């Protein structure tokens, strides 16, 4: 009997030991499972953050391009948006990220290749409006402006510097396209009266909107010294931090909107109002420089006795809310631009 009891006790101890070991193993498994869950959640959050901040344009700009841009910029696997250029015997596919990071001499070389092709197109098309080169000209001018939009959206600093290049040497030089050169370029564009009125209307809206943003920025800046100089009575460090952080974010949004408005006006002119032939003329005759939209339209405005830039910027005959609302005409206009109609003049005034 005692032998049986001893066996039972031994078995009980063995079961207790196994149960304790199983419990310990279960706790360890739960702990590992929790760690894995936490790691997976962290990885998912990192992935979401990476997707959210995948491009500079997502972080800085309020406008992400017209519908034609969405048609031109296609997704290539996991490499993100890509563009296709047809300048050579074989199509060249390049990611927007790679394109926007090209060294300036290579950007200049690409732009020059477009100019060379378009110069040939213009000779053919001017001699024969029904030439098959018309379609080629439409494609190449669309690709050239798409190249510009890609750099502007993804690398604003490079876009700014590119506009200062002397393209035949691929570097920034002190010399610029002269006022006389702009005056000589304008008649070559052969704008119709409808295009002239669109450009002048866009100019009024553009500087009216910029004036509204400048006044908003001035108001925001006027609030900064009160906080950072301790001129707000009884303010504590936490309040100072909160106020300055809020002002910094508002100033960032203001600057982002200003750049977006600039880019929208660029697209409205070169991808909406102008025809593909006029884009080609602009690029070829301005070479080795890039003709700036504000100076081209500025010459036009001067010839038509339009108000000065300063007058438009300081226009308070309309409320700032109205200036902002007026700019929505341009936003709606840009939404109508597609690859199907980009080679033609798209009237802007109909959106008024």
Mean per-residue pLDDT, 96-111? 94
Say yes or no to pLDDT of 265 above 80: yes
This prediction's pTM? 0.79
Query: Would you state the pLDDT for residue 50?
Result: 46
Mean per-residue pLDDT, 295-314? 96
pLDDT digits (tens, 9 = 90+) for 144-184: 999 999 999 999 999 999 999 899 988 888 788 999 999 99
Label residues 154-171 b or e (16+ Cβ within 10 Å = b): bbbebbeebbebbbeebe
Q: Which of the four pLDDT bands, split at 50, 70 and 90, describes residue 97?
A: very high
pLDDT digits (tens, 9 = 90+) for 30-40: 666 666 665 55
Say yes or no to pLDDT of 278 above 90: yes
Query: Would you state the pLDDT for residue 246?
Result: 87
Mean per-residue pLDDT, 209-214? 96
Query: Would you state the pLDDT for residue 19?
Result: 67
% of the chain exceeding 90 in pLDDT: 62
Say yes or no to pLDDT of 251 above 60: yes
Say yes or no to pLDDT of 293 above 80: yes
Paired strand residues for 81: 75
Say yes or no to pLDDT of 276 above 80: yes
Query: Would you state the pLDDT for residue 58?
Result: 45
3-state SS track over the chain: CHHHHHHHHHHHHHHHHHHHHHHHHHHHHHHHHHHHHHHHHHHHHHHHHHHHCCCHHHHHCCCCCCHHHHHHCEECHHHCEEEEECCCCCCEEEEHHHHHCCCHHHHHHHHHHHHHHHHHHHHHHHHCCCCCHHHHHHHHHHHHHHHHHHHHHHCHHHHHHHCCEECCCCEECCCCCCHHHHHHHHHHHCCCHHHHHHHHHHHHHHHHHHHHHHHHHHHHHHHHHHHHCCCCCCCCHHHHHHHHHHHHHHHHHHHHHHHHHHHHHHHHHHHHHCCHHHHHHHHHHHCCCCCCHHHHHHHHHHHCCCCCHHHHHCCCCCCHHHHHHHHHHHHHHHCCCCCCCCCCCCCCHHHC
Say yes or no to pLDDT of 10 above 70: no
């Amino acid at each position: 009997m005692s032998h049986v009891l001893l066996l039972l006790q031994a078995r009980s101890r063995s079961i207790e030991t196994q149960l304790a070991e199983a419990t310990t193993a279960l706790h360890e498994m739960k702990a590992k499972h929790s760690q894995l869950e936490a790691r997976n959640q962290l990885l998912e959050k990192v992935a979401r953050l990476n997707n959210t901040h995948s491009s500079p344009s997502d972080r800085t700009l309020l406008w992400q391009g017209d519908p034609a841009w969405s048609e031109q910029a296609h997704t290539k696997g996991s490499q993100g948006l890509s563009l296709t250029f047809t300048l050579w015997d074989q199509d060249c596919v390049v990611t927007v990220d790679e394109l926007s990071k090209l060294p300036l001499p290579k950007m200049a070389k690409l732009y020059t290749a477009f100019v060379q092709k378009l110069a040939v197109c213009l000779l053919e098309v001017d001699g024969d409006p029904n030439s098959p080169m018309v379609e080629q000209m439409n494609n190449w001018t669309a690709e050239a402006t798409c190249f510009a939009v890609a750099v502007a959206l993804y690398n604003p600093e490079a876009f700014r510097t590119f506009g200062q290049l002397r393209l035949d040497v691929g570097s920034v030089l002190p010399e610029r396209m002269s006022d006389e050169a702009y005056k000589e370029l304008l008649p070559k564009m052969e704008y119709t009266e409808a295009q002239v009125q669109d450009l002048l209307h866009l100019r009024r809206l553009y500087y009216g909107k910029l004036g509204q943003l400048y006044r908003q920025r001035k108001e925001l800046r006027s609030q900064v010294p009160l906080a950072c100089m301790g001129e707000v009575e009884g303010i504590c460090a936490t309040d100072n931090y909160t106020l300055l952080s809020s002002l910094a974010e508002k100033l960032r949004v203001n600057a982002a909107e200003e750049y977006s408005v600039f880019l929208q006006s660029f697209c409205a002119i070169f991808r909406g109002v102008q025809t593909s032939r006029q884009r080609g003329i602009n690029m070829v005759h301005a070479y080795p420089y890039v003709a700036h939209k504000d100076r081209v339209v500025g010459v036009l405005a001067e010839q038509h006795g339009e108000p000065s830039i300063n007058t438009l910027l300081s226009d308070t005959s309309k409320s700032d809310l109205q200036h902002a609302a007026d700019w929505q005409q341009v936003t709606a206009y840009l939404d109508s631009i597609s690859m199907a109609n980009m080679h033609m003049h798209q009237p802007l005034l109909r959106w008024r």
